[in-house]
Amino acid sequence: QVQLQESGPGLVKPSETLSLTCSVSGFSIRIGYYWGWIRQPPGGGLEWIGSMFRSGSTHYNPSLKSRVSISLDTSKNQFSLQLKSVTAADTAVYYCARVVMSAAASEVSYYFDNGGQGTLVTVSS
Amino acid sequence: QSVLTQPPSVSAAPGQKVTISCSGSSSNIGNNDVSWYQQFPGTAPKLLIYDSNKRPSGIPDRFSGSKSGTSATLAITGLQTGDEADYYCGTWDSSLNGGGVFGTGTKVTVL
């Protein structure tokens, strides 16, 4: 059974870079699937951040694209999120997840089938 | 800002049925599959429905999904107190600046 666990600093200063790692157990990230990130501000709804396939193919939220990057480390069975130049608006619970993405006759299926428990990141000086 | 619109809240008595709507457009729901997630306070979202109407293993058949045109619906029958949670729809937006998108979220209250 696949399990995911986020880790990283819980406090980041404004203008600095937020870095989180997701450790995956019970499943190799080399075997298909996309791997992605979602966030949720306190009291708010879910926001898609982006996802990456083992081939290097990535999709990012257009509103974050200039600041975000996702990378995979298959040797450690981990993947990471970096978000640059953070502000208080980036304060949120960040979730990592395994992503299913497929397309048939131009109809895309995209969903998160397993995720971590989430980690709160606060942006404050 | 979410591109998928859901009612902020729905409620019903135990044993009754509730439906949650998710309204989008031709670039997302109209041409792509929909997923639904259940989230209890302080916990991670959990996949309830994928490919618009399929349930992952372990999800009771009290939960069902459907899609018509640019809208999708999650139905919960035989409502239980343990179903009180937030529910989100999600899909892929195929527009030029698209990507993964979520709905605004709906709070289900069991009266």
- Closest residue by Cα to residue A23 from A9, A2, A51, A39: A2
Q: Which one-letter amino acid corresponds to residue A48?
A: W
- Residue B9 CB neighbour total at 10 angstroms: 12
**What pLDDT was estimated at residue B1?**
63
Neighbours of B46 (CB within 10 A): 18
Give pLDDT tens digits for A41-52: 999 999 999 999
**Residue B104, CB half-sphere, CA atoms under 13 Å: how many?**
13
A113 and B47 within 8 Å at the Cβ level: the answer is: yes
Q: Given a cut of 80, is residue B2 above it in pLDDT?
A: no
Whether A46 sits inside 8 A of B105 (CB atoms) is: yes
Judged by CB atoms closer than 8 Å, whether chains meet at B50 and A118 is answered as no
Q: Tell me the pLDDT tens digit for each residue of B7-57.
A: 999 999 999 999 999 999 999 999 999 999 999 999 999 999 999 999 999
Q: Could you tell me what percentage of chain B is helix, strand and coil, using 3-state DSSP and rounding each to the nearest 5?
A: 5, 50, 50
Which residue, among A110, A113, A117, A119, would best test binding to B if mutated, counting the most B CBs under 10 Å from its CB? Answer: A110
The alpha carbon of residue A76 is apart from the nearest alpha carbon of chain B, in Å, by: 24
Contact A108 B33 (CB under 8 A): yes
Closest alpha carbon within chain A to B56: A113
Select from A46, A107, A110 the Cβ nearest to the Cβ of B31: A107
Phi, psi of B82 (to 5 degrees): -70, -5
What angle is formed at CA B63 by the lines to CA A26 and CA A25, rounded to 5 degrees? 5
Contacts of B67 (CB under 8 A, 6+ apart): B29, B33, B34, B52, B53, B73
